[in-house]
Amino acid sequence: MANTPQSKKRARQNVKRNDINKARRSRIRTHLRKVEEAIASGDKDAAAAALKAAQPELMRGVTKGVFHKNTAARKMSRLSSRVKSLA
Q: What is the DSSP letter of 67?
A: S
**Confidence (pLDDT) at 59:** 96
| pLDDT values of the chain reduced to their tens digit, one per residue, 87 residues | 889 999 999 999 999 999 999 999 999 999 999 999 999 999 999 999 999 999 999 999 999 999 999 999 999 999 999 999 997
With vertex at residue 59, the alpha carbon angle to CA 58 and CA 60, rounded to the nearest 5 degrees, is 90
CA–CA distances in Å: residue 37 to residues 3, 42, 43, 71, 76:
48, 9, 9, 20, 15
**Confidence (pLDDT) at 2:** 84
**Confidence (pLDDT) at 40:** 95
Tell me what the pLDDT averaged over the chain comes to: 95
Does the global pTM surpass 0.75? yes
The yes/no answer on whether domain 5-85 falls in CATH 1.20.58.110 is yes
**Cβ burial 15-39 (10 Å sphere, 16+ → b, else e):** eeeeeeeeebeeebeebbebbeebb
